[in-house]
Amino acid sequence: MVSLHTSPLDQPGTGDAGGMNVYVVELAKRLATRGVEVDVFTRATTSAQEPEVLAADGVLVRHITAGPFEGLGKNELPGQLCVFAREVLRAEAQHPVGHYDAVHSHYWLSGQVGALARDRWGVPLVHSMHTMAKVKNSALAEGDTPEPEGRIIGEEQVVEAADALIANTDLEAKQLIELYDADPGRVDVVHPGVDLDVFRPHDRADVRRELGLPADAAVLLFAGRIQPLKAPDVLLRAVSVLLDRRPDLRSRLVVPVVGGPSGSGLEHPTALADLAAELDLDDVVRFVPPVAQSELSRWCSAADLVAVPSYNESFGLVAVEAQASGTPVVAAAVGGLTTVVRDERSGLLVDSHDPRDWASTLERVVSEEGLRDRLAAGAVEQARAFSWEHTADHTLAVYRRAWERMEVLV
């Protein structure tokens, strides 16, 4: 596997680490249990990183030195593709011919490297986009920076080169075909999963006590990277509208924001805290640094709802994780979130980013008798439809079909 711009060992929720990091490591671990040894090539970002780290039995993370360890943003990484690719090829050359059977690249930067490795090694390239520039640019948050033309061209090249493309949802598959002219015969839909041993319902009273949350609080949780794309500002503005309508809620409302600045959010790392102060929400909003997966499950279980107001999500792992923790999700009706969340069954979908619409939906969950409990039960049931075991089995099938296509061409 190639995950150039972010290591599967990084803490999700800050920097460039997020759902893709979870995807890579969880898929690799499940493949390893099926007898597939996985090497994950990623760029080293500190001299303290060991060149090789065993992430799990059968999963080796290789840190490749390509450019300075620190100070390079994601948009500057195309300048390091040649060096990174050279080091990947050099690592493979230390093994007998035919050491690798397939290359699975994640995100377009990795796809550029994967395409070169495919041609040199004579093995299929399977690519997962995770996000797409054309989709992101079509639904930008106000003030967010459009993805550059260079990324769009790079994505088009990877789509053309890949022997198979894995889409998270039917919608993403349709976008690949319609926006990137992908061959429908090379696009396979494989849903990501959730670790149901980690993300499970906890006793709400117990975890609230341990996390320092009042037993009777109305807890509206945001978990993820703090950047315009994820739209945590929409939640804060909605909470402000809600408190204008229902000032009686103020004494028991808590809005934890679990995560750190990322992407274009790094340009103004205090922007969300500044907004909270501007909206007079300092007594309501609680900023929490990124936490481990097991701790995130506890935060989700402690909440009345998890808000996912993103402008786009190719899937929305945090929404599945929240539901597996027994918590309803209030999500924007965009991208993969319309697949992950069953409206009125496991959560509520909001067909806009207008804070007034969001305030009305949040108020329903907080105030409508029996709604939260009904959605919570549906959330647990919905999460059972997603598992990493299912993801691994279907991904293996994609690898096999990609091999068959190459053999036919030869």
Q: Are 331 and 341 in contact (CB under 8 A)?
A: yes
65 is in an annotated binding site: no
341 is in an annotated binding site: no
Question: What's the rounded Cα separation, in Å, for the pair 271 and 226?
Answer: 9
Question: Residue 12 is which amino acid?
Answer: P
118 is in an annotated binding site: no
Q: Which residues contact 331 (CB under 8 A, 6 or more apart)?
A: 307, 308, 309, 310, 316, 319, 337, 340, 341, 347, 348, 349, 350
379 is in an annotated binding site: no
Task: Supply the Cα-derived Rg of the chain in whole angstroms.
Answer: 21
303 is in an annotated binding site: yes
21 is in an annotated binding site: yes
361 is in an annotated binding site: no
382 is in an annotated binding site: no
For the chain, the 3-state helix, strand and coil shares in percent, each to the nearest 5, are 50, 15, 35
Kindly tell me the sign of the dihedral angle through the C-alpha atoms of 143, 144, 150, 153. Answer: negative
Q: How many CB atoms lie within 10 A of CB 192?
A: 27
14 is in an annotated binding site: no
74 is in an annotated binding site: yes
Q: What is the DSSP string of 39-98?
A: EEEEE--STTS-SEEEEETTEEEEEEP-S-SSS--GGGGGGGHHHHHHHHHHHHHTS-TT
151 is in an annotated binding site: yes
Cross-strand partners of 253? 218
200 is in an annotated binding site: no
174 is in an annotated binding site: no
395 is in an annotated binding site: no
**Known binding positions for Mg(2+):** 303, 327
**Known binding positions for UDP-N-acetyl-alpha-D-glucosamine:** 11-12, 19, 225, 230, 291, 313, 321
**Known binding positions for 1D-myo-inositol 3-phosphate:** 5, 16-21, 74, 107, 131, 151
**Known binding positions:** 5, 11-12, 16-21, 74, 107, 131, 151, 225, 230, 291, 303, 313, 321, 327
